[in-house]
Structure formats: C-alpha cells, structure tokens
Amino acid sequence: MSDFIHRFWSDYVAMLSLLSIVACVLLLWLTARKRVASDADNTTGHVWDEDLREANNPLPLWWVGLFVLTIVFGLGYLAVFPGLGSFKGQSGWSSRGEYEADVAKATQALAPVYAKYEAMPVEEIARDPQARAIGERLFMNNCAQCHGSDARGSKGFPNLTDKDWLHGGTPEKIVETITKGRIGVMPPMAAAVGTPDDVKNVANYALSLAGEPHDSLRAGLGKSKFTACAACHGIGGVGNQALGAPNLSDKIWLHGYGEAAIVQIINNGKHNEMPGQEGRLTDAQIRMLASYVWGFSNTAAATP
C-alpha cells in the first residue's frame, strides 16, 4: 500500500495549512509593533544610487485591510470546504459530488432526446440519422481512445468494422459487452505444449490454419500439440465466442502476426481488459452506442 494514502499525509497537509495562516498573522502583528528608527526627514538612512532614500512610512490601511481579509477568508474557507486533511468541511462539498450532480443534470436534460428511442430495436436505431450522430459523439468520447476514431482498432484493440467478434456481434451481445466490459485472459501455454521447439511447431500450425506463410514441416509436427490449445480455440482453431477465444483461421491477428508474435503469446500468455461503461453511461446511452457500433459491421442494414 502506498504511503501517500496514510493518514499522516492528510494530517501533514492540515498542519501545513494552519501554520501558513498563523505565520501570516504573526507577520502582520510583528510588522505593526516594530518601530524603525528614522531620521528627522522620516527616512531609514538607507540610500541607493546616491540620492534614492528609503522612507519610513507605515503600511497603507487598505493594504493592511486586504491582508486581514485574506486571513479571515482562508480560515472561513477551511471551515466550509475540505482543505484540512481528512476534514470534509461544514458544507459537505466534494469534487466527486459536484461531478455527479453535473452528470445527473445533463442526464435529466437529455432524457427527452433518448426517450424517443427507448422502444426501438437497436437495428432500427442504427438507421436513424439523429441517433447515429448521437452514437458517433458517444463513441468519440468513450471508445475512440482505444478502437480509433474510425473504429478499426490497432494492435491489441479489436477492429469493430469487420465481422470478427470475440464475444459475438449481435446487438444484444454488443450491449452486454459495453455494459459489463470484457476480460480476456490466455494463460502461458508453453509448459502444456512442450519444448520450445514444440511451441514453434504449434505457432506454424496456427499460421497454416489461416493459410498464412508457414513452415509446413513444423506445422505438421505441431498439429498434435495443438490439442492443448483446442480446449479454448476449438478443433481447427475456429475460436469460441462463449469464452472470447479468437478464431485463428480467419487471418485476423489481434496481437501481432507471424511466428515470433505467436510464440511470444504462447510463452507469456496475454491479458486484455475492456472496462464496462455501466455507471458511466445510462442504459439509453449504451443502447445508442451499441447501435452505432453494430452499424460498423452491418453497413447495408444500418443504411437509411
């Protein structure tokens, strides 16, 4: 556990804040009491550039007043708002609470817009121009960071515009995926496959399943060892959407292509996670977003 979440740090910040205010009070009090000896012409005797003399005038009252006001404001702020370590302040304000209030306000304002689509199937929503525009904004704000603005993905992030779906591409499955998120785990399989040579053989067999360039001799030797992988990827490497196991026979390589990339995955395994949007997006927003994503791989059906 990090030391920075220990109570010591909240107490330290609170003490530092209070000491800073006390130091300001002391500074004001000491300067008000101190009397600097002055000459008859009300100067301190300090001279610069031969004729520039420092006068011994008291601070203007407006300046002193602002100084006092600053101290009072600081104490009042710390009493009302959180600023003294773990003390939450009399108002109960928090940045999280303000954020949630803003989200609730925005959700309420947009409710009439989404109400129009509540009873519509996802496929029908995908054909509505206004719904597509809303879905595009939702996608850009919540999905494009990983899947790209064109939804074509990149290494480690699935392409949403093709027909290759790890967990299924029906509207219901897309809604489920967006809502709950997905966790994909492939354990290291080198020990189950056999020797390092066996791992290379299996990698070449996987390449042969997709009709990719491969070493046919190694592929032949790797076929029998592929049984360790078939439990998830299926006989023939056609994948298993119930498990999210990729299809190895369709020439779509999520984590890199070629013998070296496949060997690395067999040796080290792979962990991928898509965070769920439940709680961040409303049910209506998730359905709108799902319709937009579904439209990527069903262009004809989603065309008005």
Task: Give pLDDT tens digits for 154-206.
Answer: 999 999 999 899 999 999 999 999 999 999 999 999 999 999 999 999 999 99
Calpha distance 261→200 (Å, rounded): 11
Cα three-residue angle 54-55-60, rounded to 5 degrees: 125
Q: Look up residue 53 and give its DSSP letter.
A: E
- In this model, does residue 38 exceed pLDDT 80? no
In three-state secondary structure terms, 47 is: strand
User: Following CA atoms 134, 135, 136, 138 in sequence, which dihedral angle do they give, to the nearest 10 degrees?
Assistant: 90
Calpha distance 135→287 (Å, rounded): 9
Q: Provide the CATH topology of domain 102-181+275-302.
A: Cytochrome Bc1 Complex; Chain D, domain 2 (1.10.760)
Say if residues 157 and 273 touch (Cβ distance below 8 Å). no
- Of 95 and 259, the structure prediction assigns the larger pLDDT to 259
Say if residues 276 and 181 touch (Cβ distance below 8 Å). yes
Under the banding of pLDDT at 50, 70 and 90, the label for residue 39 is low
Calpha distance 216→206 (Å, rounded): 11
Residue 35 has a pLDDT of: 67
In three-state secondary structure terms, 135 is: helix
Calpha distance 209→248 (Å, rounded): 7
Structure tokens at 255: 């984590």
Calpha distance 85→72 (Å, rounded): 19
Structure tokens at 189: 């399989």
DSSP for 232-277, written as a single string: HH-GGG--BTTTTBPPTTSS--TT--SHHHHHHHHHH-EEEEE---
- In this model, does residue 1 exceed pLDDT 50? no
Structure tokens at 88: 């939450």
Structure tokens at 264: 């690395």
Mean pLDDT of the chain, nearest integer: 89
Task: Name the burial class of residue 255, with classes exposed (0-12), middle (13-18) and buried (19+) by CB atoms within 10 angstroms of its CB.
Answer: middle
Residue 3 has a pLDDT of: 53
- In this model, does residue 79 exceed pLDDT 60? yes
Say if residues 28 and 67 touch (Cβ distance below 8 Å). yes
Domain 185-274: give its CATH architecture: Orthogonal Bundle (1.10)
- In this model, does residue 257 exceed pLDDT 90? no
